[in-house]
C-alpha cells in the first residue's frame, strides 16, 4: 500500500488537523466544561457544531471571494 500525497494534499491535511485541534481545544472543550449535567454537555457539543460550520463557511466564502476577484487585482 503506497501513499502518494502531493504537497497540496499534505498542506490541506495539516491545515484540517490544525483546524480540528483548534475547534476541540478552543470551542468544544470549554462549551462542554461549562455545564454539569450530561444532557447539557451533549447539547453544548451539538450547538458548537454550528459555530464550526459558520467558521468553515466564512472561510470558504472569503477564499471564494479571493479566487473570484484575483485576476482583477493581480496585475
pLDDT at residue 1 is higher than 80: no
The cell numbers describing 42, all together, are 451533549
Which pLDDT belongs to residue 36?
95
CA distances from 11 to 1, 48, 50, 58, 60 (A): 21, 26, 25, 20, 16
With respect to residue 1, please indicate whether it lies within any of the assigned structural domains: no
Segment 49-56 mean pLDDT: 92
Domain containing 58: what range? 7-74
With respect to residue 23, please indicate whether it lies within any of the assigned structural domains: yes
Question: Whole-model pTM?
Answer: 0.74
pLDDT tens track for 5-24: 899 999 999 999 999 999 99
With respect to residue 46, please indicate whether it lies within any of the assigned structural domains: yes
With respect to residue 52, please indicate whether it lies within any of the assigned structural domains: yes
Which pLDDT belongs to residue 28?
94
With respect to residue 30, please indicate whether it lies within any of the assigned structural domains: yes
With respect to residue 2, please indicate whether it lies within any of the assigned structural domains: no
With respect to residue 59, please indicate whether it lies within any of the assigned structural domains: yes
Tally of domains within the chain: 1
Amino acid at each position: 500500500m503506497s501513499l502518494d500525497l502531493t504537497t497540496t494534499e499534505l498542506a490541506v491535511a495539516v491545515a484540517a488537523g490544525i483546524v480540528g485541534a483548534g475547534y476541540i481545544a478552543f470551542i468544544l472543550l470549554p462549551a462542554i466544561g461549562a455545564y454539569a449535567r450530561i444532557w447539557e454537555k451533549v447539547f453544548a457539543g451539538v450547538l458548537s457544531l454550528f459555530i464550526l460550520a459558520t467558521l468553515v463557511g466564512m472561510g470558504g466564502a472569503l477564499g471564494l471571494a479571493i479566487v473570484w476577484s484575483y485576476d482583477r487585482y493581480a496585475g
